[in-house]
Structure 1
Amino acid sequence: MNDTQPLKNKISSYIIQTHEEEIKRIAMELHEGVGQSLYSLFTGMQLFEKTIEQPAMKSYAGDMNQLLEKTIREIRLLAVELHPPTLTTLGLMSAMKSYIKLYTSTYGIEVEIENLGIESQISDRDNITLFRVCQEALMNIARYADTTKASMIFIWEKSRLMIMIKDSGKGFEVESAMNKLSGLAAMSERMHLIGGNCTVFSKIDDGTSIEISLPLY
């Protein structure tokens, strides 16, 4: 490792931390501001729909309610994607389960999640990094895998956390994809900055497997 590498790592960590703080602020504004306003509008529209007697207008109001409900779901998913509120209070597993519930309702992809061992207490920095990497992996499945099912396994050991994310989608050539899909490179870089690893295995027409590893001290 050359002399400039530690400095580059510190700069990268600082940029990511600053970025995450701004993301957290925006997520709170979306949830507490825009989300709450839309929900108030939705409940008002529901009451308004009940008072309408003309069939055409009642149908139109119903369509507007459905659109508002869909928008609220999307806002909630976006807020959780930006910064899951349960991550710092309840931990990684709780945050992932909440995210997966919204992810499935939005993209129609069922994610089977399994937790082996006892969840260890890890730093906020490591928590948000692991969440971001898992999030990116799931988003890649939604964008590229062309599948309706995926799985996540968390293995908590005394000295290491392993996370395995798999899908049975169409797969890809890893070497070329690492150059084209910046998300894959970002996953590896994020894990590297906290002393972990992220390895991607994939084969055309044979799905994708991602292995994430983080030492626990």
Structure 2
Amino acid sequence: MDLMNSKQHISSYIIDSQEEEIKRIALELHEGVGQNLYSILTGIQFVESSASEPQMKNHLREMSQLIEKTIQEIRLLSVELHPPTLTTLGLLPAMKSYIKLYTSTFGILVDIESFGEEKAIPERNSVAVFRVCQEALANIAKYADTSEVKMNFYWNEDELKITIHDFGKGFQPVDTTDPLPSSGLAAMRERMHLTGGECKISSKIGVGTSIEISLPL
């Protein structure tokens, strides 16, 4: 039992350390690199407005457009790494915000619904659930071959349940040595286990894959 507790403590420490580093990188991308690029963009636009030669003016405009696109990509990456709404507004708004980004990136529509009264969740647990949902959606984009996902939040007095079904091609559940997304699924289970919750995965060929996440409140 002591060995199991020790392993859980180490896993928890590693995950927490990773999340802190991810948060730092996301902040640096947004407030450091992003702001620097914005300053460069402003300078180029100023030079462009002063340029008289058409060829130079067009070249500067193309550079401005490229930098604008890069700034947008950095903002999206920053949100994907650590959405600011997760700590300011909570899990459900952060998930809805992420789904908009997910749909625009992969073209997969996610129908998300919430039932019951939303409750506050400690940030550590909120991050864990968000990462599990994020991993589930990433696996769907990689493996499911589908254009539709259904996600439901069920808020009860002492538990939050989230179900995700992808209506995709599914897979045959096998032992954990299977490379299909077993490492990702194992990480999802481990994250929920460390919160006192669970993550159950079921799949059937031609029907799709279902994931059920439960978190004590």
TM-score bracket for this pair, using the shorter chain length = 0.7 to 0.9
Name the residue aligned to 1:88: 87
1:198 CA displacement: 0.5
1:105 CA displacement: 1.5
Identity of aligned residues (%): 61
Name the residue aligned to 1:163: 162
Taking the aligned partners of 1:52 and 1:170, their CA distance within structure 2 comes to: 58
Please list the CA deviations of residues 22-43 of structure 1 after superposition, one character each: whole Å capped at 9, or x if unmatched. 1111110011112233344456
Secondary structure of 2:154's counterpart equals strand
Taking the aligned partners of 2:169 and 2:68, their CA distance within structure 1 comes to: 32
Name the residue aligned to 1:184: 185
Secondary structure of 1:4's counterpart equals helix
Taking the aligned partners of 1:148 and 1:75, their CA distance within structure 2 comes to: 26
Equivalent position amino acid for 1:166 in 2: H
Name the residue aligned to 1:5: 4
1:74 CA displacement: 2.8
1:69 CA displacement: 4.3
Taking the aligned partners of 1:205 and 1:75, their CA distance within structure 2 comes to: 37
Name the residue aligned to 2:33: 34
Q: Tell me, yes or no, if the aligned pair for 1:161 and 1:215 is still in contact at 8 Å.
A: yes
1:125 CA displacement: 0.8
Q: Tell me, yes or no, if the aligned pair for 2:51 and 2:57 is still in contact at 8 Å.
A: no
Taking the aligned partners of 1:45 and 1:174, their CA distance within structure 2 comes to: 55
Counterparts in 2 of 1:3 and 1:32: CA distance versus 1, 3 Å: same
Name the residue aligned to 1:196: 197
Taking the aligned partners of 2:193 and 2:208, their CA distance within structure 1 comes to: 25
**Aligned length in residues:** 214
Name the residue aligned to 2:102: 103
Residue correspondence of structure 1 range 1-150 to structure 2 within 5 A = 2-42=1-41, 48=48, 54=54, 58=58, 64=63, 67-150=66-149
Tell me, which stretches of 5 or more residues in structure 2 are unaligned?
none
Counterparts in 2 of 1:178 and 1:128: CA distance versus 1, 3 Å: farther
1:44 CA displacement: 5.8
Taking the aligned partners of 2:151 and 2:40, their CA distance within structure 1 comes to: 37
Taking the aligned partners of 2:212 and 2:174, their CA distance within structure 1 comes to: 16
Equivalent position amino acid for 1:110 in 2: L
Equivalent position amino acid for 2:215 in 1: L
Tell me, which stretches of 5 or more residues in structure 1 are unaligned?
none
Q: Tell me, yes or no, if the aligned pair for 1:178 and 1:184 is still in contact at 8 Å.
A: no
Taking structure 2 as the reference length, what is the TM-score of the superposition? Answer: 0.86
Taking the aligned partners of 1:29 and 1:150, their CA distance within structure 2 comes to: 32
Equivalent position amino acid for 1:191 in 2: M
Residue correspondence of structure 1 range 203-214 to structure 2 within 5 A = 203-214=204-215
The list of structure 1 runs, each at least 4 consecutive aligned residues, that deviate by more than 2 angstroms after superposition, is 35-58, 60-74, 174-179
Counterparts in 2 of 1:160 and 1:95: CA distance versus 1, 3 Å: same
Question: What is the CA RMSD across the aligned residues, in angstroms?
Answer: 2.5
Taking the aligned partners of 1:110 and 1:43, their CA distance within structure 2 comes to: 36
Taking the aligned partners of 1:128 and 1:54, their CA distance within structure 2 comes to: 51
Secondary structure of 1:165's counterpart equals strand
